[in-house]
Amino acid sequence: MSASPQTVQKSGAAGSAVFAGSDSRKYNYFEPKARKASHYEDMTVDVQPDPERYLLQDWIISFPDGTPTYSKTWTKALSSNWHQFRAVDQEWERTHYQRQSTICGMVQGVIENARKSGAPKRFDSAWVKVLQDHLGAYKHAEFGLGTSLMQAQRYGYTQMINNATLTNSSYKLRFAQDLTLYLSEIGLDLQGFDHNAGKKHWLENPIWQGTRKSIEAIMGATDYLEQYLATNLVFEPLVGELFRSGFIMQMAASQGDFATPSVVAAAEADYERNLANTVELIHMLTHDKEHGAHNVKLFNGWIAHHGALAKEAAANLQPIWSQPRVKVSSFAEAQERAHNRIQTICSQVGLQAS
């Protein structure tokens, strides 16, 4: 029997020969969430390996104290199966760029059209100062969340958790830049607009110090899951949405401003997705058969800690509601909505909004 000459295969296309495995055309090493694996799952699951699944030789580099490349000890939360989590928004690179790019185009369109029609000049002057000082200060909060999530995406135990954290960070950092550039550009049309005022208020104005403290507490947390939970389950409903929806979106039109709400609306939509992802993950952990009770206790502690900071932050913001000339909604109403919101979210995942 001679091995050569080698058989000439006429085509390398699927179906041109039938043999064992010739029809095995699906990634077959994980259990899809639904009957059929989604494209997102195919792009994501098991790319970050795990010695408890397929990682035969274990992690091969460690930190000096022996902690491996990825470790379950990076959160106090426990799971009987970290790999179960799937991001609700199903993002992989293509959908992420499509969405981000669409938002960038939309925001730039808003700015261009607003300026072309001379809109900023028609903003009420008290409102211009509100945008300059307070929206200008708030952009730093968004940036802080973005950098904090950028840190967090290194630590999660699975690719699904880390990628959801990564896209969340990407959304936050984009929005912080959206606000910065929006203010910069409408500022060109507004005499005396002070671009540095926002940061000054962020660093010094007592109105913003509670918010800054709240953000710094999230940035300084060393548990990645605490950072993720505090961002989406606590800060966002109690302070982020309160300011974005409960103040900017409510007030702007009455001050002759139709542009700012369009820019800020993108962040509200971002948050809906990031919230859905977070709720899914936290729900999985609070309903874990083995560790549910442990996690509930842990998370309630985080909510109490960050909730107290966020509530103080929100209370400090109250004076802003009286700064616009035309007053269409009250702080109390906005705060009421925020409290209802966090109640609803927490009850969905079996936690207590303190």
Partner 1 sequence: MSETLTLNKIVGQKGISTAEAANRVSDLGWTPSYVQEAMTFPTDYKISKVPRDPMKQVLRSYFPMQEEKDNRVYGALDAALRGDMFRNVEPRWVEWMKLFLAIIPFPEISAARSMAMVGRLAPGEELRTGFTMQMVDEFRHSTIQMNLKKWYMENYIDPAGFDITEAAFGKCYATTIGRQFAEGFLTGDAITAANIYLTVVAETAFTNTLFVAMPSEAARNGDYALPTVFLSVQSDESRHIGNGHSMLMAMIHDPSNHQLLERDLKYAFWQNHAIVDAAIGTFIEYGTTNRDKNKESYAELWHRWIYEDYYRTYMLPLEKYGIKIHHDDVAEAWDRIVKKNYVHKTAQFFSVGWSFNFWRIEAQTEKDFEWFEHKYPGWYAEFGDFWKWYAKLSVPGEKNIAFNADVGYVYPHRCWSCMVPCLIREDFCCDEVDGKVYTYCSEGCRWTHKVAFAAEYEGRATPAMGRFSGRREWEECYHGWDHADAMVDLGFVRSDGKTLVPQPHLRFEQKDMWTLDHVRGNTLGSPLRAFRALKPGAERDAAVAEYRKGYTINPCN
Residue list 101-120, contact with partner 1 (CB under 8 A): 101, 103-105, 107-108, 112, 115-116
The stretch near partner 1 (CB under 8 A) out of 27-35, 262-270, 296-304, 321-329 is 27-35
| Residue matched to tokens 């992420």 | 96
Q: Does 92 bind partner 1 (CB under 8 A)?
A: yes
Q: Count of CB atoms within 10 A of residue 73's CB?
A: 10
Kindly tell me which residue out of 132, 158, 169, 335 binds partner 1, with binding defined by CB under 8 A. 169
Q: Does 333 bind partner 1 (CB under 8 A)?
A: no
How many residues belong to the site for partner 1 (CB under 8 A)? 106
Element holding 117 (H helix, E strand): none
Q: Does 191 bind partner 1 (CB under 8 A)?
A: no
Kindly tell me which residue out of 84, 90, 180, 354 binds partner 1, with binding defined by CB under 8 A. 180
Residues 6 or more apart whose Cβ sits within 8 Å of residue 116: none
Q: How far is CA 140 from CA 102, 217, 349, in A?
A: 23, 14, 29
The stretch near partner 1 (CB under 8 A) out of 182-190, 228-236, 291-299, 314-322 is 182-190
Residue 23 or 333 with smaller CB distance to partner 1: 23
Residue 108 or 330 with smaller CB distance to partner 1: 108
> What's the chain's length in residues?
354
Q: Does 80 bind partner 1 (CB under 8 A)?
A: no
Q: Does 244 bind partner 1 (CB under 8 A)?
A: no
If we measure between CA atoms, which residue out of 226, 340, 345 comes closest to residue 275? 345
| Residue matched to tokens 């990825």 | 70
Residue 124 or 185 with smaller CB distance to partner 1: 185
The stretch near partner 1 (CB under 8 A) out of 208-216, 239-247, 326-334, 336-344 is 208-216
Q: How far apart are CA 279 and CA 83, in angstroms?
A: 16
Residue 146 or 324 with smaller CB distance to partner 1: 146
Residue 63 CB, nearest distance to partner 1 (Å)? 6
* Lookup: tokens for 126: 């008290």
Contacts to partner 1 from residues 257-296, by CB under 8 A: none
Q: Does 24 bind partner 1 (CB under 8 A)?
A: yes
Residue 332 CB, nearest distance to partner 1 (Å)? 27
Q: Does 235 bind partner 1 (CB under 8 A)?
A: no
Residue 147 CB, nearest distance to partner 1 (Å)? 7
Nearest 10 degrees: Cα torsion 150, 155, 156, 160? 50
Q: How far is CA 216 from CA 35, 41, 117, 354, in A?
A: 43, 34, 39, 21
Q: Does 76 bind partner 1 (CB under 8 A)?
A: no
**Residue 256, amino acid:** G
Q: Does 154 bind partner 1 (CB under 8 A)?
A: yes
Q: Does 36 bind partner 1 (CB under 8 A)?
A: no
Residues 6 or more apart whose Cβ sits within 8 Å of residue 218: 144, 145, 148, 227, 230, 231, 235, 306
| Residue matched to tokens 């802003």 | 320
**Residue 106, amino acid:** M
Q: Cβ(328)–Cβ(251) under 8 Å? A: yes
Q: How far is CA 208 from CA 18, 80, 199, 242, 334, in A?
A: 68, 41, 10, 14, 17
Residue 150 or 339 with smaller CB distance to partner 1: 150
